[in-house]
Amino acid sequence: MRTVPFFNYPFLFKSREDDFIRIFKDVGSRGAYILQKDLLDFETNLAKFAGTKYAVGLANGTDAIWLALMAAGIGKGDEVIFASHTYIATAAAIHFVGATPIPADCKRDHMIDPASVRKLITERTKAILPTQLNGRCCDMDALIKIAKENNLIILEDAAQGLGSKYKGKGIGTFDKGATISFYPAKNLGSFGDGGGFVTNDKEMYDQVMLLRDHGRNDEGIFVRWGFNSRLDNFQAAILNYKIGYYNAEIEKRRKIASFYQNRLQDVRELLLPPAPDADTIFFDVYQNYEIEAERRDELKIYLKENGIGTLIQWNGQPVHSLTSLGFSGTGLPYTEAMFKKCLMIPMNTSLQEEDLEYVCDSISKFYR
């Protein structure tokens, strides 16, 4: 029996082991650990890649959302609308600036539903925080229209979205900026925790830069309250190397998505994510390949018995289902129905064509 793990963590290192060791030696022998040249170089290349004026390296993707909200002046008494189909980190960041997280429904492509957002707006609403989920951008035109009409800001949780585009524009370019995660299993992953923020907004950039380093400016003077949320220089050096071939990795992921599309589109019990060539509006980078499947739980067990790893995102818990955190648990029909069916099948650059064939054959066999 073939085994196809959901994610291959050792491959991350082994894929280019010699180069990673060379980088480790280089950084270590320079004694360059915190706020050094490698971080500056990476920030320059990250901004270049994202097509934004500015980029900041941060300690992790959760801090990135938290600091960006703080930089935007979101706080006590404010409401922030976000997609219930996101990681708890999105809501936690809103909670920890003292604002109230308001979960919204998602739609068929699993992105936040602008119609649901519109219904949730009150006089306290200050921001929309859409998650650019699974490597896909949300319907940004619709969100920007709602934001303009209601005087709201948009901040993107693009932890899963670096490289994804909407009408040719990348994450971070739509309003106040986008936060990124470099968690190892993310599309651009480091060897530990890491995060980033990209923006065209000078004020947002300046404030996030201050917040990540104790409120200290270029002259070392403390000009506001801040934190320690710096991206380690070693991780930055690794990421600066990896961003050099990130476009090729995206192409690999899009090829895998095409393969799944071709081989699974006729399985009537499945709803697949939009195909890479479905339209010219969205450019998806496939952080995940999240399907909806009839008899999902049985399928998951069957695939496991056949050596294939799958994952239900957020362990099956959309944020609004977390009544222990004060959420209502109901009222978002698409999300609730979808979480009975959603399943992520393997999507990563270690996959070989034989792996993909085996996954597709196994799924087809299950429904036959």
Ligand X SMILES: *Cc1c(COP(=O)(O)O)cnc(C)c1O
Chain residues that interact with ligand X, rule: CB under 6 A: 60-62, 86-87, 89-90, 131, 157, 159-160, 181, 183, 193, 195
CB of 61 to ligand X, least distance (A): 3
As a whole number of angstroms, the distance between CA 123 and CA 79 comes to: 9
CB of 12 to ligand X, least distance (A): 15
Amino acid at 233: N
CB of 86 or CB of 199, closer to ligand X = 86
CB of 52 or CB of 62, closer to ligand X = 62
CB of 314 to ligand X, least distance (A): 9
CB of 79 or CB of 193, closer to ligand X = 193
Interacting residues of 61 by C-beta distance below 8 A, sequence separation 6+: 89, 157, 159, 179, 180, 181, 182, 183, 186, 194, 195, 196
Using CB positions, name the residue nearest to ligand X.
61
CB of 89 or CB of 243, closer to ligand X = 89
CB of 348 or CB of 362, closer to ligand X = 348
CA angle at 199 for the pair 197 and 204, rounded to the nearest 5°: 85
CB of 30 to ligand X, least distance (A): 26
CB of 293 to ligand X, least distance (A): 21
CB of 86 or CB of 200, closer to ligand X = 86
What's the token pair of residue 71?
């930089």
Asked if 8 contacts 346 with a C-beta cutoff of 8 angstroms, the reply is no
CB of 5 or CB of 184, closer to ligand X = 184
As a whole number of angstroms, the distance between CA 68 and CA 83 comes to: 17
Helix axes 17-30, 233-242, angle to 10 degrees: 140
CB of 18 to ligand X, least distance (A): 27
CB of 89 to ligand X, least distance (A): 4
CB of 90 or CB of 207, closer to ligand X = 90
CB of 198 to ligand X, least distance (A): 15
As a whole number of angstroms, the distance between CA 162 and CA 144 comes to: 20
